Amino acid sequence: MANKIQVRRGTKAQLTAKGALAIGEPGYCTDTGELYIGNGSGANTKVSVSEAERTAWNAKLTAASKTWIAPTLLNNWTNYGGTEDTAGYTKDSDGFVHIKGTVKLGYAAAVVYTLPPGYRPAKTLRFPLVAAEKFGAMTIDPSGGVFFNNDIDGTYVSMQIPPFLAEQ
């Protein structure tokens, strides 16, 4: 699994202030397009990047803005509504699938929705999650089935799980 680097974003004034960037922390100036590496004292090192490299970097940052796909919910599951996120999934530029949303009133141990090819894990994955007043588990299998264990109370189930690598 690839390691991800978090890049702090802000204006040049924000990122070059003393102590703004920790030692080794990268910072991208949104107003100037400059990249700095922190040294912990405020005298950060400016990284020189060619225009072609900057264009590629900006394209990757733009691609990282997620477009969420709303799945077809099955077996009586519906979106919770209100201020809760609707069910959705997306894949980032590194091939990691992200799942979000809160659903309610479906049948436990039945498929909630199916992820399409390209968004499925190579092996079965299990994630702990919160369901109403108790904890449960969400399983995603290699055929794309997303379902909850049968101890789940259908009052609501939050599907906020860590990203996982899609099938290769």
CATH code at position 30: 2.10.10
Q: Spell out the residues 6+ positions from residue 154 whose beta carbon is closer than 8 angstroms to its own.
A: 77, 104, 105, 106, 107, 108, 131, 132
Count of the separate structural domains present in the chain: 2
pTM for this entry = 0.63
CA distances 135 to 28, 73, 85, 162, 164, Å, are: 39, 21, 19, 16, 20
The whole-number average pLDDT for the span 48-65 is: 70
Residues in the chain, how many? 168
Confidence (pLDDT) at 62: 62
| Percentage above 90 pLDDT, the chain | 40
104 and 29 part of one domain: no
Instruction: Give the pLDDT confidence of 111-163 residue by residue, as tens digits.
Output: 999 999 999 999 999 998 888 777 888 999 999 999 998 777 778 899 999 99
The whole-number average pLDDT for the span 86-96 is: 91
Two tokens at 151? 């101890």
Domain range for 28: 8-63
109 and 36 part of one domain: no
CA–CA gap between residue 70 and residue 72 (Å, rounded) = 7
90 and 121 part of one domain: yes
On whether residue 118 sits in a domain, the answer given is yes
CA–CA gap between residue 136 and residue 148 (Å, rounded) = 7
The whole-number average pLDDT for the span 49-75 is: 78
